[in-house]
Amino acid sequence: MGEKNWVILTVKSGFYFFGEVVSAEGREPGYFYMKECSMFRIFQGGKGLPGVARMDPGATVTLDRFNPEDIQTFPMDSVLAIFKSGALYDFGGTTLG
């Protein structure tokens, strides 16, 4: 099994989500799909979102995790940005809420 495609998703409501991209193939078009998903509660450490995505030392993040097997669905017209990310569940600066 290959590397997971971890991303941070920003939506119009101002929320951030972290998870693994799921292929839209065979699913309803117009949506972005993720699994092993969490919603950001807090990130800090003076590094901002890019520092968290890079897993910079000193960056911290608290994530509220959804059921890892569930597929989370986001309408594409609500997506503002998609950032590549390191594996935040393995990052020493991550706390699961």
Residue 46 is predicted with a pLDDT of: 72
Do residues 40 and 50 lie in contact, with contact meaning Cβ atoms separated by under 8 Å? no
* Alpha carbon distances (Å) from 22 to 43, 51, 73: 24, 24, 10
* Alpha carbon distances (Å) from 52 to 20, 48, 75, 94: 16, 7, 24, 9
Q: Is residue 41 part of a domain?
A: yes
Q: Is residue 1 part of a domain?
A: no
| Domain membership of residue 68 as a residue range | 6-96
The structure tokens listed for 69 are 């097997």
Which CATH number does the domain housing residue 35 bear?
2.30.30.100
Total domains in the fold of the chain: 1
Render pLDDT for 55-71 as a digit per residue (tens, 0 to 9): 999 999 999 999 999 99
Residue 2 is predicted with a pLDDT of: 66
Q: Is residue 84 part of a domain?
A: yes
